[in-house]
Amino acid sequence: MNIVVLISGRGSNLAALLEAKLPATVAAVISNKADAAGLALARAHGIPALVVAHRDYGSRAAFDAALAAAIDRHAPALVVLAGFMRILTPGFVGRYAGRLINIHPSLLPSFTGLDTHRRALEAGVKIHGCTVHFVTPELDHGPIIAQAAVPVLEDDTEVTLAARVLAEEHRILPQAVRWFAQGRLVIVDGRVRVADEL
């Protein structure tokens, strides 16, 4: 099974996927930023690393069309947003419906969007975490595949809290991809059920 991973930055979740020895092949890594450090990581593993720079396109729809063309060349069964910092059009999301997942650094539905760790600290929550979910046109919504929680400590900063959450991201994203590759994810009435191991 081929997967394509989309990134915008350092690629730490990509590294977690590559280290997990999944029953799937990362066929390509695509970034919207030419300076994304994760591209070098992909190349070091012999994986095609491509740039589709959003600034090169006059509209969100034009960028998404170019991105979809780059993805489709690798015929992926699954597209993984692993720190991909672009809002995707409904047309793009619909094209990959049921095979597009995202890792988000909060316990959705709380703290959608950006600056999740700062907002969690400001809100005074006692538990924070991360979510892997199927992507739908509504930002940071969609059926939840997996979540992991961490305690928010009295002396936490954005940096310390983010580090603990990231460690959990590195655990649950590969698990979610593994379940998908095994054909174990079933969506019933908008909720994800993980079927018994086949």
What CATH number does residue 74 fall under? 3.40.50.170
Give the chain's domain count: 1
User: How far from 55 is each of 33, 58, 70, 85, CA to CA, in Å?
Assistant: 9, 8, 16, 13
Give 26: exposed, middle or buried? Use CB within 10 Å, 0-12, 13-18, 19+: buried
Q: Which pLDDT score is estimated for 196?
A: 86
- Tokens standing for residue 112: 């959608």
Clarify whether 104 is annotated catalytic: yes
What DSSP element (H or E) covers 82?
none
Q: Which pLDDT score is estimated for 159?
A: 98
- Exactly one of 74, 104, 141, 170 is catalytic; name it: 104
Measured distance CA(87)–CA(105) in Å, rounded: 16
Is residue 57 helix, strand or coil? coil
Q: Which pLDDT score is estimated for 1?
A: 95
Q: How many of the other CB atoms lie within 10 Å of CB of 19?
A: 10
- Tokens standing for residue 82: 């692993």
Q: What is the pLDDT along the chain (198 residues), one digit of tens a residue?
A: 999 999 999 999 999 999 999 999 999 999 999 999 999 999 999 999 999 999 999 999 999 999 999 999 999 999 999 999 999 999 999 999 999 999 999 999 999 999 999 999 999 999 999 999 999 999 999 999 999 999 999 999 999 999 999 999 999 999 999 999 999 999 999 999 999 864
Measured distance CA(98)–CA(120) in Å, rounded: 29
Q: Which domain holds residue 92?
A: 2-194
Q: Which pLDDT score is estimated for 124?
A: 98
Instruction: Look at phi and psi of residue 108 and say left if phi exceeds 0, alpha if psi is from -120 to 50, else beta.
Output: beta
DSSP conformational letter for 99: S
Q: Which pLDDT score is estimated for 197?
A: 60
Side chain identity at 165, as an amino acid letter? Answer: V
